[in-house]
Structure 1
Amino acid sequence: MSKGTETRSRIIAKAAPLFNRKGYEGCTMQDIVEAVGLEKGSLYGHFPNKEALAVAAFEYAWNETSSARMARMDNVTNTIEKLKVHVANVVTLPSFDGGCPLLNAITDNDNGNPALKKMARKALKEWRLYLQKIFEDGQDREEIRAAVDPQEAATLIIALLEGAMALDRVDGKSGFLKGAGRHLNSYLDTVAP
């Protein structure tokens, strides 16, 4: 890996938690300069503007989050158990510094930065399609009832988990996400034939 690539990667890794905690508008290039220990000109040597850095930071944060959420899913073959592992990962694993990058990007950029909104939309779609495919494969293996709509089931899981995260954050205490996890485990037991 070249020194330039290493520096770029280090900038992204340091900027991602800042953007995730402070949001696009709240995070300044000066914040990133201080965290990385480089001059502002060096940042602009790697990124043409703040928006490009924010997009790279979101991609980094979301990739880290997605990897954690999908951990150990390949260790089980049964569809229901695979989905339960996913739910457990979301509920129990520590979130990326500052919380779920997807939730943060959606709320921070609803009417703001179009590039970040586009990235959040893409991440959400990929997550939904990933879960949808698991449901479809489960139906092919007759581990999920044929009457279950894979898209609706995937959307339900995401909506319940992300919504519970938002409730935990707004309420200032935990419990909603754990409750959502218990409910989803019960729901997943009902979709088996």
Structure 2
Amino acid sequence: MTKQKYNGHYICHVNQSKTERTRAYIIEMTAPIFNKQGYAGTSITDLTAATKLTSGSIYGNFANKEEVALAALDYNISCFMKALSSATAKAKTPKDKLFGYIKAFSSSGSMRFHDGGCPIQNALCDADDTMEPLRQRAAEGLKAWKQELAAIVDQGILEGIFKADTKSDQIALHVIALCEFAMSTYSATKSLKQTDEILDMAIEVAKAIIV
């Protein structure tokens, strides 16, 4: 078993071949670079500096930079979703989970400085109609996020916590849109006050569906 440290946490690779461990290491080390600098803004020099490997070693494991970027995006989205799940792990009710999701992006939450911001939002901006595979992966991540939130709302409806006529998909999209905008606002202004004001709107959306 080997361990690599990423984003303050140790990631273990169990029963992997040397090739699989090397690929995983490259992905883990380059994922923050792609998320902060984007596909176009990340060079092979950045990748070799982050991994301490030669360009030949990197391209011996990946066909090209695009393949590394796509794998890094998958990894970043996975880390992002795990961080969100962790932020709501102690929530006991669907209501607490929904509010926990929103509060995770607040000034007191855990998502504000997540390695350059939301990887889904970053990738969608980065693709900009010029890199379709990147856009597709980001869209899949957005869909998974929406489904997870909608499932929480649906469970709340079943338990009689949320109003029976609540449209869970719409609530999920509304909350996601406000959380994403809050992150964008913070990136642009560095104002925690404005970020929290936007998230207060998401809290009001959640409060409106409570029975």
Residue 136 of structure 1: CA displacement?
1.1
Residue 29 of structure 1: CA displacement?
1.4
Aligned to 1:58: 73
Residue 76 of structure 1: CA displacement?
2.5
CA contact (8 A) 1:68 1:89 kept: no
Instruction: Select 2:62's aligned residue among 47, 53, 57.
Output: 47
CA contact (8 A) 1:61 1:96 kept: no
Aligned to 1:79: 94
Distance of 1:40 and 1:186 partners within structure 2: 50
Distance of 2:87 and 2:125 partners within structure 1: 29
Residue by residue over 1:24-83, the C-alpha shift from the partner in whole angstroms, topping out at 9 and shown as x without a partner, is 111011210111111111111111111110011011111111111111534333211111
Aligned to 1:17: 32
User: How do residues 32-181 of structure 1 correspond to structure 2 at under 5 angstroms?
Assistant: 32-91=47-106, 92-94=109-111, 95-181=113-199
Distance of 1:173 and 1:81 partners within structure 2: 26
TM-score by length of 2: 0.85
Choose between structure 1 and 2 for higher RCO, CA contacts under 8 A separated by at least 6 residues. 1
SS in 1 for 2:86: coil
Residue by residue over 1:122-179, the C-alpha shift from the partner in whole angstroms, topping out at 9 and shown as x without a partner, is 0001101111111111111111101221111000000001012112222343333222
Percent identity, aligned pairs only, is: 29
CA contact (8 A) 2:146 2:173 kept: yes
Residues paired across the two proteins, number: 193
CA contact (8 A) 2:84 2:101 kept: yes
CA contact (8 A) 2:105 2:183 kept: no
TM-score by length of 1: 0.93
- Bigger mean CA deviation after superposition, 162-171 or 183-192: 183-192
Q: Which runs of 5+ in 2 are unaligned?
A: 1-15
Q: Which amino acid aligns with 2:151?
A: K
Cα gap change, 1:117 to 1:71, in 2 (>3 Å):
same
SS in 2 for 1:70: helix
Distance of 1:176 and 1:56 partners within structure 2: 33
CA contact (8 A) 1:17 1:96 kept: no
Aligned to 2:43: 28
CA RMSD of aligned residues (A): 1.5
